[in-house]
Chain A
Amino acid sequence: MEEPTGWPRYRYRRHGLLRWRGPRGRGPLRRRQSDRLAGGVAAGLASRLGFDVNVMRIAFVVATVFTGGTFAVGYVLAWLLVPADGADGNLAGRALTDARGLAVAAGIGSLSFFAWIIVSVLNAGWLSNLVWPLGLCVAGIVLIWRNAPADEQAAMRQLAEPVLSVTGGEGRSRIVLRVLLAAVLLLGGLAVLLSGHSASALLRPLGGVALVIAAIVVGFGPWWLRIARDLVVERQARARAEERADMAARLHDSVLQTLALIQRRADDPQRVVQLARAQERELRSWLFEGRAPGSLDVMTLADGVGVIQQEVEAQYGIAVEAVTVGDCELDDDLGALLAAAREATVNAAKWSGADVVSLFAEVEPAAVSLFVRDRGRGFDPETVPGDRKGLAESVHGRMARRGGSATVRSVRGEGTEVSLTMPRTTGPRTAGERQPSRT
């Protein structure tokens, strides 16, 4: 499982130079999710053909420059049409059923069509060659964004973050930056116009252009406006749904877990009262003081792993063998990683029937990995009923929302292992900055 992603790095170390070709891969072309930069097309193609992924990326960029952007359209198409590894079906299939997404894409398409008309009216030939690939790419990316699974969206968000932080922020310096950018673009546009025509002859086509633009705006404006409004409404709905999912995960981890425990300890009234009281305290502190239930009040990852060990040992009476290699400070992402690990450990303690659960955390420069393993009865992940939130929401969802990943490997009669990986972000960032739509 770790081998395919691991070997290029070892090769780097051993030879100290870039390795051009490795063994060819087998099987159909898939977008590789493991070392993706954007869609994972280059990574997938590289591993299929046996090239180094960086060679492939450089080839893509060169091709894009030489084809004047046409190649980028091909890339976006491949993103839509080639299925991700491990996924069944491509994004295009899902995009076809997404009526609103298609409307937005058509809107953007029509915008770029009109832009193309205007530009060709102005005789700026090279610019018109650039407009249509740009329009198609943006339309394609919109479709991808709307139909991609959560982890792919997280990867895209990370990629777009530097751009968005320049244009989307509210701070004074950002406004200045934005105005400067607009001024540069405006000057560039005027320069293009002037280069095609002498200054005196400029006025006439410009007037025509203004008329055409006015016509377009009158004709299509309401439609574009409606699309934009729909988008805003939908984004709010999505934010609400996400908040709901977060709340459900938290309630599951605290209240539902405690209720399950109480049912098991029904013959021990004192323990039941104790559990109920502890849960009441936790719930109150969440509802009225804003402290998240199950949130770990610790500073470093190793401390967090220790707390999970103690809590699960105390609550469920099984041994947790915890091993941590390396350590680092906690941030929001790693907090989510710990919360997912806690949930996986609790699950193992409750359902596996094993009397030891192994918990192994390793801090590496680029990522933190955490493994929860038991040698219990195991289960079939496919047959877990949908209302069992534990795995789907508390582990998978939690990791995906933060850009991490979770895999579960379970064999009936042999046990279960949950592997969690969270990439480490450099420098402290707050959740509010990353997800402006959520408050």
Chain B
Amino acid sequence: MSTPHGSPRVFLVDDHGLFRSGVRFELGGQVEVVGEADDVEPAIAGIAESLPDVVLLDVHLPGGGGQAVVTAIKAAHPQVRFLALSASDAPEDVIAVIRAGARGYVTKTISGAELVDAVRRVAAGDAVFSPRLAGFVLDAFSAIPAAGGGGPSFDPELDQLTPREREVLRLIARGYTYREIARELFISVKTVESHVSSVLRKLQLSTRHQLTRWAAERRLT
């Protein structure tokens, strides 16, 4: 799928034309932008046609949430990867896009270089967590009952973060890059990546009803 010289092919989905051209400019020559769309329907058609490596996806679109795009494409083209990108969102929307299959979430405050880096990571199959997503996930998994107390469907493999994963997420939330986390915890960058990917997997596969209900409850507390 990648172009011969290794720069990932990217598709932009955002309802603001200005923002799309901004991102296009920031990504510069470092990735190949193969198309863009401003709504759900054109996005699905465009992505199916150009089959990019990575789709940069706004969480909010006029014709429905970003997760509609992810769900539609995932069924037919599982090799296309999604990175959610947006200004500021309610946690439940972000979690919904991730659970639909996006491999990461970054905020629009991200710098150009960091965005390119994030796109490369997603293209390589890794997960990309922004500080905010790390915070959401810590919050979602912290309402955890003690092991075994989560009802009949509780699966400790999927419904709980390991202490190490928690540590990694905390450092991401504190604004550390993967490399800085690796140095802080005396582990390799690869290990950090695998921790983050494992958290992403838990986030997507956990059937803990708290995870789905969490966002709604969070607003009450």
Chain A residues with a Cβ under 8 A of chain B = 10, 319, 321, 323-327, 355-356, 358, 360, 362, 371, 373-375, 417
Contact = CB atoms under 8 A, between A and B. Distances in A.
> Sorted from nearest, which 6 A-B pairs have the closest CB atoms?
A358-B175, A323-B135, A373-B175, A319-B109, A325-B138, A360-B174
Contact of B135 (A319, A324, A356): A324
A435 B183 CA distance: 43
Contact of A325 (B139, B175, B176, B221): B139
B149 to A, nearest CB: 14
Contacts of B130: 321
Contacts of A319: 109
Contacts of B135: 323-325, 360
Contact of B131 (A10, A358, A374): A358
A417 to B, nearest CB: 7
Contact of A321 (B109, B138, B163): B109
A326 B142 contact: yes
A291 to B, nearest CB: 28
B163 A10 contact: yes
B221 to A, nearest CB: 6
A323 B142 contact: no
Interface residues of B, number: 18
State the main secondary structure of chain B at its contact with A.
helix
B171 to A, nearest CB: 9
B139 A417 contact: no
Contacts, number: 47
B80 interface: no
Nearest to B176: A373
Contacts of A324: 135
Interface in B127-179: 130-132, 134-135, 138-139, 142, 163, 170, 173-176
B164 to A, nearest CB: 10
Contacts of B86: none
Nearest to A370: B174
Given A325-B135, A325-B139, A417 B109 contact: no
30 contacts: A10-B163, A319-B109, A321-B109, A321-B130, A321-B131, A321-B175, A323-B131, A323-B134, A323-B135, A323-B173, A324-B135, A325-B135, A325-B139, A325-B142, A326-B142, A327-B221, A355-B111, A356-B109, A358-B131, A358-B173, A358-B174, A360-B131, A360-B170, A360-B173, A362-B170, A362-B173, A371-B175, A373-B176, A374-B175, A417-B174
A401 to B, nearest CB: 25
Contacts of A373: 174-176
Contacts of A323: 131-132, 134-135, 173
Pick the most buried of A360, A373, A374, A375: most chain B CB atoms within 10 A of its CB. A360
B198 interface: no
A4 to B, nearest CB: 14
B33 to A, nearest CB: 24
Interface in B195-213: none
Interface in B56-107: 107
Contact of A362 (B138, B163, B175, B221): B138
A326 B142 CA distance: 8
Contacts of A321: 107, 109, 130-132, 175
Contacts of B170: 360, 362
